[in-house]
Amino acid sequence: MTTLVSGPVTVSVPATSANLGPGFDALGLALDHRDRVTAEVVDEPGVRITVSGMGEGSVPLDERHLVYRSMLAAFAHMGHAVPGLRLHCENVVPHARGLGSSSAAIVAGVCVARGLVGGGSLLMDDDAVFALAADLEGHPDNVAPALYGGFTVAWREGERFRATTLAVDPRVQVVALVPPVGVETSVARGLLPATVSHGDAAANAGRAALLVAALGRQPELLLPATEDRLHQGYREPAMPDSLRLVRALRADGLAAVVSGAGPTVLVLTDRSQQRVVAGRAPEGWTALTVPIDADGARVDLPE
């Protein structure tokens, strides 16, 4: 019979950038810009949710909250009744900006629920966490780096989502240029065509393979490796300023892409160029210069 942990459990989960240009719904990168979730079992039934930072005052504070819904799914997976809970979310990952805020919430919810159950890691290992989180999200490209950290390749194999991690050359650095207004993922996905040409599909397959090599050991190839023909151009009506910035940066030799479903622009660069790239943020945008995260989700259990 499982028991619950006394005292709070805190989980931190990194922001993520998916697609990275040609790796549509497959490639992802973890960024050390972390949401933190703290949960504690209490005697009162139900849940009390508080939020600070991103989403404060706008996200629901009841059973509709994404972290809590993910916790419910994890408790069900472990066969444990849902206890009374106090839940606090400290959010720094911007919402609706293509930086994986929903995946961070889902992974945090599943991991914090596991942390609250004694022996939870035996009932649900990291691969099971990934499978559940990817099912909740509907696609694995942000979930994989949020959980495992680093650079990931994720795919669907039959009914299962799978992922693997790959090394990143230490010379590769990241700058995220975040616009003041977001775009919902559903809107961005709705702009994609049902079919693409064989030529575009082949070009993207080649560039995605090249990107694995460029990130791993040949960062001098990042500019050609991040060329995309499958999704970014189709999404321009929803984020014209982002695509304009991507083209301008790439014309200057910088490996700029739309982060995830946008509208954030991600630039893969080196340390010497980070300040220059940050200075290219248009008025009203925010430049985030953040390290690539190697840890993924981290759980701090009470002593």
The predicted model scores a pTM of: 0.95
Percent of the chain at pLDDT exceeding 90 = 91
Binding-site residue positions = 94-104
Q: What is the mean pLDDT of residues 196-225?
A: 97
Domain ranges of the chain: 9-167+293-300, 173-290
Chain centre distance of CA 192: 20
Q: What is the pLDDT of residues 141-167, one digit of tens each?
A: 999 999 999 999 999 999 899 999 999
User: What fold characterizes domain 9-167+293-300?
Assistant: Ribosomal Protein S5; domain 2 (3.30.230)
* DSSP symbols for 124-190: S-HHHHHHHHHHHHSSSTTHHHHHH-SEEEEEEETTEEEEEEE---TT-EEEEEE-SS---HHHHHH
Q: 196 and 228 in contact (C-beta within 8 Å)?
A: no
Query: Which residue in this structure is represented by tokens 């989960």?
Result: 13
DSSP state of 283: T
- pLDDT tens digits, one per residue of 263-303: 999 999 999 999 999 999 999 999 999 999 999 999 875 55
| Binding-site residue ranges for ATP | 94-104
For position 301, what pLDDT does the model report?
58
The token pair at 49 is: 């949710």
**Distance (Å, whole) CA 114 – CA 123:** 8
Question: Residue 6 has what pLDDT?
Answer: 86
pLDDT-based confidence at residue 1 (cuts at 50, 70, 90) = low
- Tell me, which fold does domain 173-290 have in CATH? Alpha-Beta Plaits (3.30.70)
Cβ atoms within 10 Å of 79's Cβ, excluding its own: 9
Q: What distance in Å separates the CA atoms of residue 277 and residue 177, rounded to the nearest whole number?
A: 9
Average pLDDT of the chain?
95
Nearest 5 degrees, angle CA 273-CA 276-CA 279? 150
Q: Is the pLDDT of residue 41 over 60?
A: yes
Distance, in Å, from the CA atom of 203 to the CA atom of 22, rounded to the nearest integer, reads: 9
Compute the average pLDDT of residues 29-43. Answer: 96
Is the pLDDT confidence value at 79 over 80? Answer: yes
DSSP, residue by residue, 218-269: -GGGHHHHT--SSSTGGGGGG-HHHHHHHHHHHHTT-EEEE-TTSS-EEEEE
Instruction: Quote the Cα angle for 45-69-100, to 5°.
Output: 140
